[in-house]
Structures are given as structure tokens and as C-alpha cells.
Chains A and B, each alone.
Chain A
Amino acid sequence: MSEWLKVCTLEEIPRLGARVVQTGKGDIAVFRNAGDEVFALKDKCPHKGGPLSQGIVYDRRVACPLHGWSVHLDSGEAVAPDKGCTHRHQVKVEDSVVYLQV
């Protein structure tokens, strides 16, 4: 549980963008917003499973590339009035290195 995986440096995630981390348990999207906050969500939209990593990041949200739902990056919840939730992963940044819990 408490195992942190070293993923990449902060710089390797584009600001207002994401990187996909492929794991044995499926893809995880690691996002970076304008304020250099980092978030990680399972790379599947609560609507129809679209890859959230490919969406447009703004504020603390991402807009899904398939049908435009927005998802809160910090909770994985769809932005109201849409309903649904995507699994959230723990992430942290230390000395500009991003760590993730799978």
C-alpha cells in the first residue's frame, strides 16, 4: 500500500497536461496543472471510459476528449450535473520527482 513508485520528473509532465503511466493494473493518468499541482486518476472517464489523460486540463479539472464531461482532478468525481467517479491514486512530488501509489 504505502509503496511509492518513482514515475518521472515534474518537468516531464507538460503544464496543463498529462502523462499516461501503463501498469499491470491498467493505465493511470498523471496530471499537472498551472500551479504545478499533480494529480493521478485511473485513465478511464466515468462516462464511457474515455482516456482522461488526453483531455484538456484547466484549473483542477480535466475535460474528457470523447464527449466533453469534466472531472475533478482532486476527487475523481464528475463535475455536476454529470454523475460518476473515477478511481483516484495517491501522488506526491518531492524535489521535482513525481511519486505514485498504484
Chain B
Amino acid sequence: MKRARLVMVGNGMAGVRTLEELLKLAPDLYDITVFGAEPHGNYNRILLSPVLAGEMTLPEIMLNDFDWYRDNGITLHAGKKVVEIDRARRRVVASDGTEAEYDRLLLATGSNPFILPIPGNDLPGVLAYRDIADTQAMVDAAAHYRRAVVIGGGLLGLEAANGLKLRGMDVTVVHAVDWLMERQLDRNAADMLKASLEAKGLKFLMPRLTAELVRGESGRVCAVKFKDGDEIPADLVVMAVGIRPNTALAEAAGLYCNRGVVVNDTMQTYDPRIYAVGECVAHRGVAYGLVAPLFEQAKVAANHLANFGIGRYTGSVVSTKLKVTGIDVFSAGDFMGGAGTEEIVLHDRTGGVYKKLVLKDEKIVGAVLYGDTVDSSWYFQLMRDGKEVGEIRDHLMFGESHLGNAGHQGQNKAAAMPDEAEVCGCNGVCKGTIVKAIKEKGLFTLDEVRRHTKASGSCGSCTGLVEQIIASTIGGAYQPQDVKKKPLCGCTDHTHEEVRKAIRENRLLSIPEVMRFLEWRTPDGCASCRPALNYYLICAWPKEYQDDPQSRFINERAHANIQKDGTYSVVPRIYGGVTTPAQLKRIAEVAEKYHIPTVKITGGQRIDLLGVKKEDLPKVWADLDMPSGFAYGKSIRTVKTCVGSEWCRFGVQDSTNMGIELERALDRMWAPHKVKLAVSGCPRNCAEATIKDVGVVGVDSGWEIYVAGNGGIKAEVAQFLVKVKTREEVMEYTCAFLQLYREEARYLDRTVHWVERVGLDYVKKRIVDDDAGRRALYERLLYALQDERDPWAERVRGLAAAEFQPIKFYDKDSLSGDGNNERMAESVHA
């Protein structure tokens, strides 16, 4: 069959990203032809600033070189500008006469720099700042001339000025209003920025309106003249006063344009065969000038070009970062505030830190940060998600990480960190390595940085730092992921919540059924979605669903914890941390019999047998004759207890037995992530109940229940949920809380992450205020756990025997190993 023809006009960042997304979805659908006015492949325009500053070279910023087009079968006409679209005959014509016919056309012509309509604006030595040619011209000018004037104190102008200064020029920035980046910064932040740039040697004239560029004797520009009559000498003038969507071609073809080529939510223009993306586009009246929203547009356009027909672009909230090395500024949203808004401000002039949050109806609607921008992604996320911040208002200013975050020396200012400083303590990744990867490999998202450098990919505690490094390297191009709409994994566009809803409402009973119903893109998912789906199905259909061992991580498949050398650990369940001499003897005997190399008391009040061979596991379990402690699973772990009123002179409640009761009741409970509890017998809290998923603290008149604490990567203190009188109530409230978590949290959310998202008020409403609802939750948990089988006893009896038995085959003639290994391994000659 003949393939449809797709022609793209404009070979820049938004257009090529669309092609990349399209090739992922439908690699064989189109014959693709690309026209680009510039004689290059696709490069990372954002990084022209570091190129100008001498921090990077042109080859380093190429995103798609000519080989990429060839390898993907794309015909590239580089250096050919399209001058006509003939919509009737569906073809485009380039200035040199090259033609191409299309079935679908994609416009991605970007924008043009705005040139002030003043005398002298076309003199030699007068440049805009948009592409490689401009950058090259500035680099050349810096080598031959001394005095540069940059007109425009916005983002682009300041980056140009900084680059020219670093190339040794004497640079003056002329700005029409009296504060820099007035569309992104408030007065305070702008003043601080100006002071830092002055300290770097830049000069500012503002407010000044330029009247004329004066021609020198050589014919080149020699001075800039202002409306007030003043004049300053200049050998190079860079105009950075704004951009205009490049719509000339579209307009000439009769496409509807209104400050951009007008598109609908599918990125389609008024001609249904023609799509448009990027800076040339006006979507719901907005033209964007940063790559993050353009990449979102690219994804949607690709989806429709691939005939998938889902996905809509609904507009973006954008944020800004300046890419001047050593300066950290961030701004987003309605940063000026005004009627109906309130402000929280922190201003430390000496320390060089300024933070302003603008709130409206308890929600963040704008932010400006200067100096310390570590929390920019957090604020931005809260703002974009429209989250109520009333509950956390008192510590909002101090950021997300003001509580213990282990593994990187308490660092929170990425810009101030030297290149050799370790950012990711799990994988040993330094700042310099991350910056290098972002620049050289053209990375834009946290996900990409994780995949390439591993930074923040393990425990995740340095995520904020890494995001900050990305943001200061690629500027506003960085956009933290939208957590609300975050798809479950790369195999689908559906969110966790949508998947769970579909499972419940359509009675989907197996992983393949879910994947078929929700149109998974991959044949059998991946290592991220399969374990999640398996859990969602267990939770929704505790009795009907048949667990899928191949969709479980090895620990949950083998019911023991894999170690770095491929052996396993066994942690016998010791309810509430209370054991007996008989149990201890048995553990000791097993450890000797199987030559278990390490016996360790864990942090969870039990004993770990480390270094067990996989084949020995069923025998070890048989001899122990104790259930294991789910020490490996996304499941109930331990209930830590203190001695309590039975022995302790301060104890007011019997915490030990309360803990044992809870641990027995919750035995074999699967959950979105691991679940830990603790019960203390008095407020001295020796069981550390206030850093647990559920912490119970005995007081004279009853029990206090705390929820959503965490003692791991990031210490989080549990929050008070309710005070109750009886043990039965402790049981009911605890179980109801955990069932709500099981039913509503996303896979791999600890309770703290989930409560942070839904809010403690919501949890209280469901668990404390709604008596009938609480009891129903409690009963659903009991129903799910009733008759849940003991996986070790089952395996001791021979279930899943093959999992534990290797096929032994030491030399080709003799079969060794277990006698019951009937599967003869024999050699035959082919």
C-alpha cells in the first residue's frame, strides 16, 4: 500500500519533537519530508546562550543530526525556505523551486525576532538573537569589536549580554522600563538581579527609549541614540525586544491567523489537513515562547497525525528561569498579586535570598524566587494543581525539604554547589555529570536525566536538587511533571486513578483484560505497570482475582528478599517483637543447619537470616515452621511495640499486646507500598510511633492514633488523626485507614505521599466523621484478609516448586542434583 505523505515546514524544536513522537507511535504510517530554512539539522536553540557564553560548542547542541533523518527515512531539505503552500493541489514550494506534495502538512515555523522600527535598524552590526547564524555573528563581533549594546532587559537580552560580557566585550543593556524582566519579576527580585549582574560587570541604562541607530564612517553601526537625545557608542547592537509568531506563509495561504496560526485542541488549523505546533501557533488566544508547552503540543499533534485521535492540548501554565551561570531566579503565574490576593514574603538582602508567594483563596497563584530556588518545582506543582495550601501555610515558605532529607549533606542550593559535589548519594552522581549529560544529550525532563545519569533514580530524595539543576541548565524549558495527569507508565496514557476505576466499573479480572480494555500500547506491559496492575486487581477483587506471579518482583514471587549476590534473606515473623526461647532455639538450629552466614537483629524488632540459597528456601521455611515476615513486600511489615504497662513503670496501656493484635489482624495484607505500625505504652513513645504509617500512643484515658509518618528517605512526622478509648476502636480506625489507603493510593505511594495529595482533612472526613463509612472500610479489609493463605506453608507443601529448583547440568553426560528433578537434561547431537 502506498504510504501517506507528511510534509513539515520548519525544522526546529517543536516540529522535530512532533516527528519523534509520531515515529514512536506509528513508525510506518508516512513518507516524511521536511523543509528547514536553516542549513542545519535540528539543534537545541535554548543552548545558544551557553554557546554564546563559550560554555558549549555548536556540535554539542545538535539534537538530531543529518544521520537521524536518514536513519528514519525522512527526506530533509535543509537550507530551503518554503515560500508557498498551494492548498488546492496540496503541495508546498520552496524558494529554489523544490516542491513536495502532501496528504498532511505540519507547520512549525517558529517565530521571528521583533525588530524596532527605527532608523538604522538594518545597519551592519545590528543583530537579533534567534539562531546559529546570529550567534556566530555575535561571536565574530566579540572577537573584533569592544562595545556592545543590548536593547531589551528580558530573558533573551540578559542572556545575550551575559554571553557577550564573558567573551570580553564591554556591554550595556538598554531597557525601556525601570526594572529588568518586568514580565517575569517583581521589583524586589528585579533589583537583586540587577545588582548581581552589575557585579558581573554589566552596565544598565533604564528606563531609556531608543530613537535611532547611528551609522559610522565604515558603514557599520557606531552609536545608539535615545529619545532624550543622549547617545552612547556601539560597535554591536543586539535587539532582544520580543518575538512575533512567524505566520507569513500561513497567512499567504489563506489560513486563519490571529497573533499566530489558530489551532484547536488537537493542534489542527482551519484546514483539516494542516496541523501546526510551536511558537507560530495561537492556541485559545495564547502563543507560547518556551519549549515545555511546545513539547506538550508536539505530543498531541503526533497522536492525531498517528490517527490515534485521543489527547487534547488544553493550554499550559508556564514558568521562567534565567540561564545565567551562578544566578538563580524563578518566576511563575501571577507574581505581582493585587486585589483579592495576599502575599507571603521572605527577604534576606544580605543572604541574597528573596521569595514571594502570591495566594488567592488558599491557593498559590504566583511565585517569584531569587537566590534559593530549590522549591520552585514544588511551588509550581502546587500552583498548577490548584492545591489548597491552608494546612501547610505555616511552613510553606520554608519549602518542601525543611524536614530531614538524608543522603546529600543538607544541600539545597544547586547553583551554589561546585561541579564535584555529590548530588545523588545512592548512585554517586555529581552535579557536573548531570549538567554535562543535560547539555550533551539534549535532555529535558527529570525522567530522561534519571535514565541517563541515574541521579535521583533510586531513593529519590535528591529529586528537588536534580530538578533545580535541570531548570538552571535549560531554563523555562523545564517543566515538572503534572502529578494529577501522570500516566501509570510509558505503556499507557491513563492515570492510576483511571485504571483503578476501569477495573472496578468494568469488572476486569486479569492483567491482559485490563490491557486490552484500556488499549495498552505494549504487548505485555513493563516492569512498572505489571506489578501495579496486579496489586490493583488484588485490591479490587480479593477473592476472584488469580494472582499473577510473573507480574511480581522477585521478592514477592519467591517470598524472600533477594540480596546483592543473588542469595535471599528470611525474616521469621515475630509478632510485636515478642518471641520465646523455643522460637529462638529453632532459629538458631536452622541457621546452623543451612550454614546461614549472617544472623542479624533488624531495625524492625526481629531476626534476619541473610545469605540463604534459593533452593534451600522451602527447606528453611519447613524447619523454621514460622511464617516469614513479609520483610520484602509491598505489604504489612512490622508492628513495633514497647514493653508497655505489663512491665514498664511508666506504662499506662498494654502496648505490647495491642501491637501483637494489630500485627495478627493485618497479617498478609498487600498494599500500595510497605506499611509499618508501632504502638507505644505512654507518650515517651519508645516504639517511635510518630514516624510510622500508623502510630498508636497510649495515654491514661485511651489511645491517640497518628497516621502518615515515615522514617525512611525523608523523615516525616505522623499527623494526629483521632483519639479513641478502647482497643476495639484502635483496631477499627487503624484498619479503616489502611483500607482507604489500599483502595485509593497509587501503587508505590507510601501513606505519607497519598495523604499529602488528598489532604488530612479528607482522611478525617472518611475515617473520623463518617461512622458507617469507617465500619464499611473495616469490613472490606477483614473480608479481603479472611482466608488469605500462608505463602510459606504452601511452598513447604510444594507449591511453585519449579521457582526454587534450578535445572542442574554440570557436564554433558551426567545429570546431578535432586532425584526428583525428572526433567532430564541430556545432550543430543544436532
* A interface residue numbers (CB < 8 A to B): 2-9, 12, 14-17, 19-24, 27, 33-35, 48, 50-51, 54-59, 63, 65-68, 70, 81-82, 99, 102
Contact = CB atoms under 8 A, between A and B. Distances in A.
A72 B509 CA distance: 30
A45 to B, nearest CB: 10
B351 interface: no
B452 A81 contact: yes
B810 interface: yes
Given A9-B823, A16-B550, A58-B525, A22 B802 contact: no
Nearest to B558: A54
Interface string B775-799: 0000000000000000000000000
Nearest to B426: A67
B526 interface: yes
Given A56-B530, A59-B522, A99-B830, A8 B823 contact: yes
B404 interface: no
Contacts of A15: 550
Interface string B814-830: 00010000011111111
A91 to B, nearest CB: 12
Contacts of A6: 824-828
Interface string B550-565: 1111110110001010
Contacts of A82: 451
B527 A51 contact: no
B399 interface: no
Nearest to B550: A16
A22 B810 contact: yes
B308 interface: no
Interface of B: 441, 451-452, 458, 522-527, 530-531, 549-555, 557-558, 562, 564, 566, 802, 806-812, 817, 823-830
B527 A68 contact: yes
B551 A51 contact: no
A22 B809 contact: yes
Contacts of A65: 553-555, 562
Contact of B812 (A3, A8, A66): A3
Nearest to A20: B806
Nearest to B457: A68
B551 A23 contact: no
Contacts of A102: 809, 812
Nearest to A90: B830
A14 B812 contact: no
A57 B525 CA distance: 9
Given A14-B802, A51-B566, A65-B553, A22 B828 contact: no
Please indicate which of the listed interface residues A2, A6, A56, A99 has the most CB atoms of chain B within 10 Å of its own CB: A56
A17 to B, nearest CB: 5
Contacts of B452: 81
The 9 closest A-B pairs by CB, nearest first: A63-B527, A54-B554, A16-B550, A20-B806, A56-B527, A65-B554, A51-B566, A4-B830, A8-B823
A22 B808 contact: yes
Contact of B524 (A55, A58, A67): A58
Nearest to A16: B550
Contacts of A48: 564
B564 A66 contact: yes
B828 A4 contact: yes
Contacts of B824: 6
A81 B564 contact: no
Contacts of B549: 14, 17
A17 B550 contact: yes
A58 B809 contact: no
A66 B555 CA distance: 10
26 contacts: A3-B812, A3-B830, A4-B827, A5-B826, A5-B827, A5-B828, A7-B823, A8-B825, A9-B823, A14-B550, A16-B550, A19-B802, A19-B806, A21-B807, A21-B825, A22-B808, A24-B811, A27-B806, A34-B524, A50-B564, A51-B566, A54-B557, A54-B566, A58-B524, A99-B830, A102-B812
Contacts of A14: 549-550, 802
A75 to B, nearest CB: 18
Given A19-B806, A81-B452, 17 more contacts: A2-B829, A3-B812, A5-B809, A14-B802, A21-B807, A22-B810, A33-B524, A34-B524, A56-B530, A56-B531, A56-B550, A57-B550, A58-B522, A58-B524, A59-B522, A65-B553, A65-B555
Contacts of A55: 527, 554
A14 B549 CA distance: 10
Contacts of B826: 5-6
A6 to B, nearest CB: 5
Contact of A66 (B451, B562, B810): B562
Contact of B553 (A2, A17, A56): A56
Contacts of A51: 562, 566
A15 B511 CA distance: 14
A22 B812 contact: no
Nearest to B564: A66
Contacts of A12: 802, 823
Contact of A24 (B525, B530, B810): B810
B807 A2 contact: no
Contacts of B562: 51, 54, 65-66
B802 A50 contact: no
Contacts of A59: 522-524, 526
Contact of B566 (A17, A50, A99): A50
A14 B802 CA distance: 9
Contacts of A67: 458
Contacts of A2: 829-830
A50 B817 CA distance: 23
Contacts of B811: 24
Given A6-B828, A99-B830, A22 B526 contact: no
A20 B451 CA distance: 29
B810 A23 contact: yes
Given A5-B812, A6-B825, A14-B549, A58 B530 contact: yes
Contacts of B523: 34-35, 58-59
B554 A5 contact: no
B451 A81 contact: yes
A36 to B, nearest CB: 12
B823 A99 contact: no
A58 B515 CA distance: 13
